[in-house]
Amino acid sequence: MENLNLAKLEEMNIIKENVALAASKELLGANDLPAKVKVIIDGKVLEIIPAFTDYNMEQPKKKEKLLEQSDAGKRLDVIFHFATPQTFWKEGYTLFDRNGNTIHKDTPNVFPVCDTADSYWRIFSDTVLTNVQIHEFESVQEYAQTIGNSMLLSRGLNNVERVGYAALATGSEAYKTVFEFAKRNNVPMNTAQLYLDLQLKPLATTLMMLGKEPKTVPTLGRTSEEAQELFEQAALTFSKGGARSRYIPRVFNRLLNIKKYEFDFLMEGLRTIPANEIAMAELQKCGDKEYCIMETLSAWLTDLKREQSKKAA
């Protein structure tokens, strides 16, 4: 792999400073997106067409509206990596623009994109790509190996981390509580939401990471203390693995929100239900473990309420 400067690119006739790229009516369909970008190479501003093969990361158009919400002034600098196109054409690979239109062989100012996690959306959202590197690969295989080795050491935020950054960016107490519950108990984000009895929408979370307040502010269905008490009792009544699953807190929410059992009464039921009842519910071959647990707990709570009524009488 060799990095090429502007003089070398011009010498190889890969880039032309004053060339007129295909006009929109020639290159774009009615619903297509702009396919050209401005880059700075060796201090000169040039227009290029980022190119893709069938193997590149997809460029979904549905993200355009969301990308407009991003504040360009609050982005870290990244390096934009491109390859020279001749290697691809020589080996018989077809190059496309972002809209899927075929780019004819030997079209000037065309550069295949080297996929990286941090530049993926930025290629078409940054006004000018200021930190650009053009690489000449000996083969498409070397190109793929370079991206594979680079992406191996890349990762994005997981769901728990996304909620954490949304909390930091907006000061949302609900998001902070969900994040802290998930981290403290080592549970997935969906499980944490179920214990706290609220639902976070992915789009709202994304916008909140940008510092934007959602139209509807999520509120906790129960306190952090109640959620923690439920989780810890679930680990004792069932198992740590069961407590971390989604089906256990879903059962709790149905009992509390639909069956209208009081929180303290449910806790008493969880503390007193015989272990063999739980074991039988989990071993039943009913095809739906959540349903079995629900039926077993409901039956036990009904018996418990009946016993309490007898004692009260």
16 and 117 assigned to the same domain:
yes
Q: What is the pLDDT of residue 19?
A: 60
171 and 187 assigned to the same domain:
yes
128 and 13 assigned to the same domain:
yes
**pLDDT band at residue 252 using 50, 70 and 90 as cut-offs:** very high
9 and 83 assigned to the same domain:
yes
| Dihedral sign, Cα of residue 25, residue 27, residue 28, residue 34 | negative
pTM: 0.82
**pLDDT band at residue 65 using 50, 70 and 90 as cut-offs:** confident
**Domain-ending residue, one of 152, 173, 193:** 152
Q: Does the pLDDT value for residue 5 go beyond 90?
A: no
Q: Report the C-alpha gap between 266 and 146 in whole angstroms.
A: 56
120 and 169 assigned to the same domain:
no
Reported as a single tens digit per residue, the pLDDT across 208-217 is 999 998 888 8
Q: Report the C-alpha gap between 300 and 269 in whole angstroms.
A: 7
Q: Report the C-alpha gap between 51 and 35 in whole angstroms.
A: 9
Reported as a single tens digit per residue, the pLDDT across 16-47 is 776 655 544 444 444 567 889 999 999 999 99
Give DSSP secondary structure letters for the chain. Answer: -EEE-HHHHHHTTS--TT--PPPHHHH--TTPPP--EEEEETTEEEEEEEEB-TTSPP--GGGHHHHTTS-GGG-----EEEE-SHHHHHTTPPEE-TTSPEEPTT-TTEEEB---TTTTTHHHHSSEE-SEEEEE-SSHHHHHHHHHHHHHT-----HHHHHHHHHHHH--HHHHHHHHHHHHHT--HHHHHHHHT----HHHHHHHHTTPPPSS----SS-HHHHHHHHHHHHHHT-HHHHHSSHHHHHHHIIIIIS---HHHHHHHHHHS-HHHHHHHHH--SS-HHHHHHHHHHHHHHHHHHHHHHHH-
8 and 138 assigned to the same domain:
yes
Q: What is the pLDDT of residue 236?
A: 95
Distances from the Cα of 131 to the Cαs of 8, 46, 81, 209, in angstroms? 18, 13, 9, 25
**Domain-ending residue, one of 152, 178, 196:** 152
Reported as a single tens digit per residue, the pLDDT across 266-276 is 999 999 999 88
242 and 272 assigned to the same domain:
yes
87 and 168 assigned to the same domain:
no
Reported as a single tens digit per residue, the pLDDT across 46-57 is 999 999 999 999
169 and 143 assigned to the same domain:
no
72 and 167 assigned to the same domain:
no
140 and 189 assigned to the same domain:
no
**Domain-ending residue, one of 135, 152, 169:** 152
188 and 260 assigned to the same domain:
no
Which structural domain, as residue segments, surrounds residue 27?
2-152
Total domain count, the chain: 3
